[in-house]
Amino acid sequence: MRPFSIKTKLGALVVVSVFITTGLLMIAVRTRTELRFITVFSIIATLLITQFVAHSLTAQLDDMSTVARSISHGDYTRRVSGADRRDELGDLATTINRMADDLEAQDQHRKELVANVSHELRTPIAALRAVLENVVDGVSAADPETMRTALKQTERLGRLVETLLDLSRLDNGVVPLKARRFEVWPYLSGVLKEAQLSGAAAAQRQGMPSGSGRHTRTDVHLHLDVSPPELTAHADAERLHQVVANLIDNAVKHSPPHGRVTVRARRGEGPESLDLEVMDEGPGIPESEWHRVFERFNRGSASTPHGPGSDGGTGLGLAIARWAVDLHGGRIGVAESTRGCRIQVTLPGIP
C-alpha cells in the first residue's frame, strides 16, 4: 500500500479516532468524569479530524470537476492543481492535465490543418478560375496551350484532394494492410522506373509546371542498391510504394543539377524485415528540423529548399510516408549523413 494513498489516510483517520476515544475514556475512568461529557468531546474531535481530511479530498475533486467541465466546453487551457500530490488524486490530476495537453495540441493541429488545406486549395482554384475567366471574357482563346494550363491546375487540385483522402483514411484506421512476401530488387526497380518516367513526362509538358507536387527533373540519376540481390521482404506493396515514391520524389526535388539519388535496401533484424535508405546530394536537413520533416504541410525552413524544376509540392508526401510506415509498425526518420539527406525506413517483416 502506498504510504500517502487515500486508503492509508482513511485508515489513519479511523485509528486516530479510536485512539482519541480510548484516551478520553481512560481519562474519564481515572478522573471519574461523566461519560456523556467524554462522548461529546470524542464526537467533536472525530468530526473535526474527519472534516479536515474530507476537505483535503473534496477540494481537489471540485477542482477536477471544474477543469473537466471547461475541457468539455472546448477550453483546453485550464489545468488541475495538485498534480504533485503523492496519492491517487495526484495521479488523477496528472492524467487530466496530460489529457488536456493532448486535446489542446490536437485542437491546434486541427486549426492549422484547416488553415493549410484552405490555403493549398485556394491556389489551384484561383489559378483555374483565372484561366477560365480569361477564356469566357475573350481575353484568352480556348487553344490547347490555355487548356493545358487549366488541366495542370486541375491535376494539382486532384492530387491534393487524393493525398488528403489518403491521410483521412490513415487517421481513421480504415486502410487495411495487405502484407505479402515479394522480391525487393524487381519491386524497387519498378518504383524507380516509374519515378523516372513520371519526371520525364512532366518535364516534356510545355508551359507552367504542373503543380501536382511531383518533380519535373530529368537530370537526376536514380541508383538502386539491393544486397543480397535475392533479398525478399514481407509488407504491403501498395503502401510501401507510397513510401518509396514520396521519398524519391522529395530527394529528387532537393538534389543539385545532375545529382544522384540512391535507394539502398538491406535485410533487417527480423524474418522478412527490411531496412531502406533514400539518400540525396542536396543541402540536407538541419538537425533542429529532423523532428518536423514528417509533419503535414511542412516544407522545411531552408532558403532554397528545392532544386530546379520543382514547384515545392504540398508538404504532404513525407507525412503520408510516415503514416504508411506506422501502419506496418515500422520506423522512419532522418539519419546523419556527411552529404545531403539520408532517410531511413525500417519495416518489421513477419510479426
3-state helix, strand, coil in the chain (%, to 5): 55, 10, 30
C-alpha cell at 113: 490543418
Q: What angle do CA 160, 163, 169 make, to 5 degrees?
A: 140
Burial class (CB in 10 A: 0-12, 13-18, 19+), 58: exposed
Per the CB < 8 A criterion, the answer to whether 131 and 149 are in contact is yes
> pLDDT tens, 220-279?
899 999 999 999 999 988 889 888 988 998 888 888 888 899 999 999 988 999 999 999
Burial class (CB in 10 A: 0-12, 13-18, 19+), 248: buried
Q: What is the pTM of this model?
A: 0.55
Q: Which residue do the cell numbers 481537489 mark?
A: 60
**φ/ψ (deg, to 5) at 271:** -65, 130
What pLDDT score was predicted for residue 263?
A: 95
Total number of residues shown for the chain: 351
pLDDT 10s digit of each residue in the chain, 351 long? 455 566 676 777 777 777 777 777 777 777 766 667 777 777 787 777 777 777 767 777 888 888 888 888 888 888 888 777 777 777 888 888 888 888 888 787 777 667 666 766 776 787 788 888 888 888 878 888 878 878 877 877 887 777 677 667 666 666 677 889 999 999 999 889 888 776 665 555 444 444 444 555 778 899 999 999 999 999 988 889 888 988 998 888 888 888 899 999 999 988 999 999 999 998 888 887 777 787 766 655 544 444 444 444 556 678 778 888 888 889 999 988 888 899 999 999 887
